[in-house]
């Protein structure tokens, strides 16, 4: 007897609708009766159950699916709305937050795999050219953000120095832990005023800018669909270049190749931690994140050609799997830690408009300078612009998800880590010059 042929029909995230809905209902029933665990697997199951439903809704909702970011952003905001309405049991809010960014830290694993796959998939010459040209794009983003922010401040009667110190630097500083927190410490050392006074406002304005950046990512993706000449295929920044490495295009990676790539990725992350934590923790007084060192290590490995073609192919396949299977889990989990009510309370007219102008400046500066150095302007604007103006690691995932450019994670992390380090160095001088 032959196997029964599967009939095509309505599918949810690749599954027949009845299997997807059934799985989600079972998991949610376990959660709302209090029997679902709080371990890694249970937390992943819960975010998946919410995620596949929100993702499908976002992909089918008119206007939202075209201009706002589709299913990926529906996962984020859907979970955040449930959190605001207190429809998620507290025990699972805590466990999911621990799963995403706490001791279990699925976010870090996600980023490690995407960095390794995206860098190793680039042809060597393209890799070197793109990363050499990236620093000017970052600086262009920062300078333009300052200019646009200052112009917005003048409209509301806020002096330029206040706008730069309290709006631009926190927004462009690489997120919370790598940006707003060390900036507040620099502020305290310079002025003697408690760091909490600076941080309280910095985190509010950064959160507003983060949401604007995520929405802007979706809008830039739509612009790229309308004007294809402004963007590439979402895997490289350089215009008119081939993407895949020379000798791994025809290789079909095996599970063993993917396992070898995972070992390599984790080793590179460990090396990054060793350098950041012990060997060279600061450069010119600024702390350098382990992801920045990890990216440098992977670039060196890719540039020297010491990684076999099969492992490069395995890294790309592992990246594809993580992007397709892990994105909705991660975005839903990030929504478990987003306070919509707190954001709404901080959304004064002046705060929103100035933050919006800073983000627009980041887009214009990164896109414009990026084009001059040979990048696609949209891809440069997303990575060197929006990923400078968001909340670091989780912001990078949200922006790239909305822009449908997860393959550019390595560049996004350079913006958050290297770009954030540049902002801290600039802040050290500006705080001393403008506040003393």
Concatenate the DSSP letters of all residues of 189-249 into one string.
Answer: HHH-S-HHHHHHHHHHHHHHHHHHHHHHHHHHHHHHHH-GGG--SSS-SBTT---S-TTST
Residue 243 has pLDDT above 70, yes or no: no
Question: What is the reported pLDDT for 177?
Answer: 60
Q: Is the pLDDT of residue 6 over 60?
A: no
* Pairing status of strand 15-16 against strand 11-12: antiparallel
Residue 2 CB neighbours (<10 A): 4
d(CA 24, CA 13): 12
For residue 18, the Cα-to-chain-centroid distance in whole angstroms is 32
Exposed (0-12), middle (13-18) or buried (19+): which is 36, by Cβ within 10 Å?
A: buried
417, 288 Cβ separation under 8 angstroms: yes
Of the ranges 125-134, 303-312, 408-417, which one carries the lowest mean pLDDT score? 125-134
Closest by alpha carbon to 149, among 349, 358, 356, 351? Answer: 358
pLDDT digits (tens, 9 = 90+) for 400-412: 988 989 888 888 8
What are the pLDDT digits (tens) for 89-146? 999 999 999 998 888 888 889 889 988 988 887 777 777 777 788 889 999 999 999 9
Element (H, E) at 93: helix 90-101
- Check the CA dihedral 126-129-131-134 and report its sign: negative
Q: What's the pLDDT tens digit per position in 187-241?
A: 887 777 777 778 778 878 888 898 899 999 999 999 999 999 999 888 778 887 6
Cα(234)–Cα(48) distance, integer angstroms? 25
* Confidence band for 77, pLDDT divided at 50, 70 and 90: confident
Q: What is the pLDDT of residue 287?
A: 66
CA distances from 405 to 18, 234, 268, 281, 347 (A): 30, 5, 23, 30, 28
- For residues 242 and 350, what is the distance between their CA atoms, to the nearest angstrom? 44
Contact, 375 vs 237, CB < 8 A? Answer: yes
The pLDDT tens digits of the residues spanning 21-49 come to 999 999 999 999 999 999 999 999 999 99
Q: What is the mean pLDDT of residues 245-273?
A: 86
Tell me the torsion sign for CA atoms 16, 106, 124, 217: positive
Return mean pLDDT, the chain.
86
Give one DSSP letter per residue of 280-307, joined into a string.
Answer: --EETTEE--HHHHHHHHHHHHHHHT-S
For residues 113 and 382, give the distance between their C-alpha atoms in angstroms, rounded to a whole number: 20
Tell me the CB-side half-sphere exposure of residue 25, using CA atoms within 13 A: 6
Would you say residue 311 has pLDDT above 50? yes
Q: Which pLDDT belongs to residue 131? A: 78
244 has a pLDDT exceeding 70: no
CB 346 within 8 A of CB 208: yes
For the chain, the structural domain boundaries read 11-101, 106-435
pTM given for the model: 0.78
Q: What is the 3-state secondary structure (H, E, C) of 234-270?
A: CCCCECCCCCCCCCCCCCCCCHHHHHHHHHHHHHHHH
CA distances from 238 to 132, 173, 232 (A): 11, 25, 8
Highest mean pLDDT among 165-169, 247-251, 288-292: 165-169
């Amino acid at each position: 007897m032959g196997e029964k042929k599967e009939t095509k029909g309505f599918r949810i995230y690749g599954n027949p609708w009845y299997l997807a809905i059934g799985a989600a209902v079972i998991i949610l029933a376990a959660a709302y009766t209090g029997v679902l665990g709080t371990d890694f697997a249970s937390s992943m199951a819960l975010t998946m159950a919410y995620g596949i439903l929100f993702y499908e809704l976002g992909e089918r909702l008119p206007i939202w699916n075209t201009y706002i970011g589709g299913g990926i952003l529906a996962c984020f905001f859907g979970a955040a709305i449930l959190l605001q309405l207190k429809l998620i049991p507290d025990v699972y809010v805590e466990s999911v937050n621990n799963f995403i960014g706490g001791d279990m830290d699925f976010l870090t694993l996600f980023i490690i795999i995407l960095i390794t796959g995206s860098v190793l998939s680039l042809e060597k010459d393209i890799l070197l050219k793109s990363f050499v040209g990236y620093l000017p794009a970052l600086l262009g983003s920062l300078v333009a953000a300052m200019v646009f922010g200052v112009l917005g401040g003048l409209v509301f009667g806020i002096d330029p120095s206040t706008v730069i110190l309290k709006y631009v630097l926190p927004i462009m500083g690489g997120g919370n832990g790598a940006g707003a927190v060390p900036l507040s410490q620099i502020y305290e050392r310079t002025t003697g005023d408690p760091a909490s006074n600076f941080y309280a406002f910095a985190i509010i304005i950064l959160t507003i800018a983060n949401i604007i950046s995520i929405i802007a990512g979706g809008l830039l993706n739509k612009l790229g669909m309308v004007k294809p000449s402004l963007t590439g295929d979402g895997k490289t920044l350089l215009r008119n270049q081939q993407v895949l490495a020379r000798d791994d295009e025809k290789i079909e990676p095996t599970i063993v190749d993917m396992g070898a790539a995972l070992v390599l990725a984790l080793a590179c992350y460990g090396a990054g931690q060793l350098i950041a934590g012990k060997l060279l923790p600061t450069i010119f007084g600024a702390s350098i994140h382990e992801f920045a060192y990890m990216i440098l290590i992977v670039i060196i490995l890719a540039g020297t050609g010491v990684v076999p073609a099969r492992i490069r192919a395995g890294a790309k396949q592992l990246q594809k799997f993580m992007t397709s299977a892990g994105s909705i889990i991660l975005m839903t989990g990030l929504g478990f830690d987003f306070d919509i009510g707190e954001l709404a309370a901080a959304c004064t007219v002046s705060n929103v408009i100035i933050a919006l102008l800073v983000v627009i400046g980041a887009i214009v500066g990164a896109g414009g300078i990026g084009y001059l150095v040979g990048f696609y302007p949209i891809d440069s604007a997303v990575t060197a612009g929006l990923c400078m103006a968001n909340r670091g690691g989780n912001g990078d995932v949200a922006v790239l998800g909305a822009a449908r450019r997860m393959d550019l994670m390595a560049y996004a992390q350079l913006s958050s880590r290297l770009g954030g380090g540049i902002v801290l160095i600039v802040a050290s001088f500006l705080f001393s010059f403008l506040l003393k």
